[in-house]
Amino acid sequence: MQKFSVKGNIIFTKDMDKFEIHDDSYLNIENGKIISISKENLFKEVVSYEGNLIIPGFTDTHLHAPQINNIGLGYDEELLSWLEKYTFPEEAKYKNKDFAKKSYSNFVNRLLENGTTSSVIFGTIHKDTTLLLAEMMEEKGLKAYIGKVNMNRNSPDFYIEETEESVEDTEEFIKALASFENIKPIITPRFVPSCTEVLMNKLGDLAEKYDLKIQSHLSESRSEIDWVKDLHPECKNYLDVYVKYSLARNNLNTVMAHCVWLTDEEKEVMKDKEILVSHCPYSNANLTSGIAPVRELISKGINVSLGSDVSGGSEMFMGRIISLAQMLSKMHYVHIDETQKPLTISELFYMATKGGGKFFGNVGSFEEGYSADFLVINDKSIQDINSRTSKERLERFLFTGDKSNISKVYVNGRRIR
Amino acid sequence: MQKFSVKGNIIFTKDMDKFEIHDDSYLNIENGKIISISKENLFKEVVSYEGNLIIPGFTDTHLHAPQINNIGLGYDEELLSWLEKYTFPEEAKYKNKDFAKKSYSNFVNRLLENGTTSSVIFGTIHKDTTLLLAEMMEEKGLKAYIGKVNMNRNSPDFYIEETEESVEDTEEFIKALASFENIKPIITPRFVPSCTEVLMNKLGDLAEKYDLKIQSHLSESRSEIDWVKDLHPECKNYLDVYVKYSLARNNLNTVMAHCVWLTDEEKEVMKDKEILVSHCPYSNANLTSGIAPVRELISKGINVSLGSDVSGGSEMFMGRIISLAQMLSKMHYVHIDETQKPLTISELFYMATKGGGKFFGNVGSFEEGYSADFLVINDKSIQDINSRTSKERLERFLFTGDKSNISKVYVNGRRIR
């Protein structure tokens, strides 16, 4: 049985409101799980990263792997025109296995080098190449929920499915992942406008049959919300469409990206059903969607995590996503609602680790029994002449550092980079 | 006389509304100035960067060199408490020459590696070490306006000047820079609350006597504006204080950072006096100041440039500053004023090059007679499997690239990195 102690300046967020900091301490790991943190090493085998920061691996709860090639492109557009011009034509290319292999290889490497050890991922409508992505992720040792995307309406001719085919391919994809260790399938209707009621219900049936989690988009931009309203006059609101057509499973079994413009009624349902919000600041800003009221969501007891939303989002490094989320929360405070205080750095770090990690179980913290998923941060290149606390060093890494400061990546106690 | 042609994919903004793109072309340079762009090389000596992008060097019109050590720190604070906790104690350290030398060396290197060839810089109140900064910048071959900061009221005991000393030191600093080639002195009252009427008037006199430009802060946060109102009931508004006490010189001779909350009357004066705005999105967001109405400012004919505002701003790379400025303009459009369209990428690139370059004369463009200040962008590390236009490559470099993509830096036709 694997047992070892890792030395360094250990920092994490058990709770949202403050960092737990253990300088010059040991993270004791047995069989891939955290046992304890101590001032002396619990185990004989010691791996020393003395002087470096040790933090939980990041969790990214919303990103589109097939959009990796488009990252950084098209931000003179808004959501719906951006989908048509940039996204759909690119995703359609993943029918081609060779194209998919090259692109997904780049994607997997970039996740890893950015220290994103757990992620919740959209593939494309193509079963075979989404499976290829799952294989590449599994081989690398990363944790993920990966979904074959479903779309059978309001989509371009070159990138749409028949209902039966969509359901059958999804079931085959689910079965193909049965033997995977770190990768799990997730039901992935693109969003309401691209799935008929029949398809949504059938996907909901699959989720029940195989006890699967569900991911989709909710209340991203105002034009999209109007569209959903036109499509579903029988539903009270956007979220109600997912509820009515069996795609809103309870108890942290559903993650919805964006949630920028939720009504009070939708917020109540989000809370009651324990649906996880994936807040995607880069995407919401790039695509002119709006600033999600995150302070209000967390005050109401809704679970919030962070997503890069590649390639609506132009950033994969969670540190910068934390930074932008804080900036947008400050702009929300100044310009929209002064009763909603800006998000603090510890709150956002929590969302990027334990908050998103909840979707995976005991992930994203260094409490006993949590997965030993952690990053070693070497911040030499951004240190300055003054001496700084571990908290300041973490803050600086998040706000001005980058992937080059992530020197080692461990998942389940195993070094994968 | 130095004459040569540089080959590459040349891209710049002569006007705000579009990129000028010359693929596989030559930038012809004589004696440090742009002569022309051509499909064949004008001069026998050719430096080929074929396949790379060639863009103007960036201009950063507002940053605090002595805050380089603090970059990325303290963003759980707002402007006035941040000044007290982080900024003033750090700036006070620059009394020590050894501390200044180490810190400024880091600053100068970071400017250079980020491709910022022209900048408008605040030093500290210390004449000697601000002069040291000027020497280091001159030696490196970078262009800058550098100011010894003036503060004689409302400042901590450990970081404040007597009026006479402040004026004398400033005049000595001005004289010491007389022989510099690329570095020029600039009058630098910190901001209204930290300078008495007497000091402001005397600084205005120096500006007239030596025909110098002026830099300061204007209308950054609401609590600061209230403070200025309390201090100067005799003035119509914040800008009027600078006007009344002779610190608002006409004709692109004054640059004011921030301008988030200007009144309509102030906007009129900004336009009439041709005062340059330095828009600092990272700082305005980090310090909870607000989103400057940039679209409105440029529609009114006010000149706008971009500033990093290190260390209120946490980013020195102009690409990311362009990206955040666009994101904030989109949030302004969605949440504040739908009549003010988001800023486009070409508009922001213009502000980061020619818009700020105006303050330096013919800088920031590749038109005939402009300074041959340019960057060679090698974007291999961020290229993807699809073929992309030069415009798309530039866009991706700005939004997701970083300093590692800036492979060469030229100023006045001379390679300095």
Picking from B9, B66, B60, B2, the residue whose alpha carbon sits closest to that of residue B32 is B2
Contacts of B388 in chain A (CB under 8 A): 73
Picking from B156, B144, B229, the residue whose alpha carbon sits closest to that of residue B190 is B156
Pairing of strands A374-377, A406-411: antiparallel
Please compute the mean of the pLDDT values over residues A201-212 and round it to a whole number.
98
Is A330's pLDDT higher than 70?
yes
pLDDT of residue A398: 98
Please compute the mean of the pLDDT values over residues A325-329 and round it to a whole number.
98
pLDDT of residue B78: 79
The radius of gyration of chain A from alpha carbons, rounded to an integer in Å, stands at 21
Chain centre to alpha carbon of residue B175: 23
Buried b / exposed e along A293-304 (16+ C-beta atoms within 10 A): bbbbbbeeebbb
**CATH architecture classification, A58-360:** Alpha-Beta Barrel (3.20)
Which chain B residue has its CA at the smallest distance from A314's CA? Answer: B400
Q: Sorting pLDDT into bands at 50, 70 and 90, what band is A1?
A: low
- Please say whether the beta carbons of B276 and B255 come within 8 A: yes
* Separation CA B119–CA B114 (nearest Å): 12
**pLDDT, tens only, B361-381:** 999 999 999 999 999 999 999
* Separation CA B224–CA A220 (nearest Å): 35
- The CATH fold of domain B3-57+365-415: Urease, subunit C; domain 1 (2.30.40)
Which distant-in-sequence residues (6+ apart) come within 8 Å of B83 by Cβ?
none
Contacts of B387 in chain A (CB under 8 A): none
CB count within 10 Å of CB A277 equals 29
Minimal C-alpha gap between A390 and chain B (Å): 12
* CB–CB contact B71 A396 (8 Å): yes
Q: Sorting pLDDT into bands at 50, 70 and 90, what band is A81?
A: confident
A219 touches chain B (CB under 8 A): no
Arithmetic mean of pLDDT over chain A: 97
* Separation CA A142–CA A118 (nearest Å): 6
Is A207's pLDDT higher than 80?
yes
Phi, psi of B60 (to 5 degrees): -115, 110
- Please say whether the beta carbons of B291 and B260 come within 8 A: yes
**pLDDT, tens only, A350-362:** 999 999 999 999 9
**pLDDT, tens only, A154-191:** 999 999 999 999 999 999 999 999 999 999 999 999 99
Which distant-in-sequence residues (6+ apart) come within 8 Å of B259 by Cβ?
B218, B219, B270, B277, B279, B292, B297
SS (H, E, C) B8-23: EEEEEEEECCEEEEEE
Please compute the mean of the pLDDT values over residues A209-231 and round it to a whole number.
97
A396 touches chain B (CB under 8 A): yes
Cis peptide before B371 (omega within 30 of 0): no
- B85's enclosing H/E stretch is none
The model's pTM is 0.98
**pLDDT, tens only, A21-48:** 999 999 999 999 999 999 999 999 999 9
pLDDT of residue B80: 83
B303 touches chain A (CB under 8 A): no
Q: Token digits for A356? A: 């998103």
Q: Sorting pLDDT into bands at 50, 70 and 90, what band is B1?
A: low
ipTM: 0.98
Q: Kindly list the domain boundaries of chain A, sorted by start residue.
A: 3-57+365-415, 58-360
pLDDT of residue A315: 98
* CB–CB contact A331 B395 (8 Å): no
Please compute the mean of the pLDDT values over residues B248-259 and round it to a whole number.
98
Which chain B residue has its CA at the smallest distance from A346's CA? Answer: B76
Interface of A with B in 134-163 (CB under 8 A): none
**pLDDT, tens only, A114-151:** 999 999 999 999 999 999 999 999 999 999 999 999 99
Is B149's pLDDT higher than 80?
yes
Task: Indicate the SS3 state at residue B187.
Answer: strand
Please compute the mean of the pLDDT values over residues B379-384 and round it to a whole number.
96
Strand-by-strand arrangement of the A46-56 sheet:
A33-38, A18-30, A3-15, A46-56, A374-377, A406-411, A414-415
pLDDT of residue A154: 96
Minimal C-alpha gap between B329 and chain A (Å): 9
Is B314's pLDDT higher than 90?
yes
Is A79's pLDDT higher than 90?
no
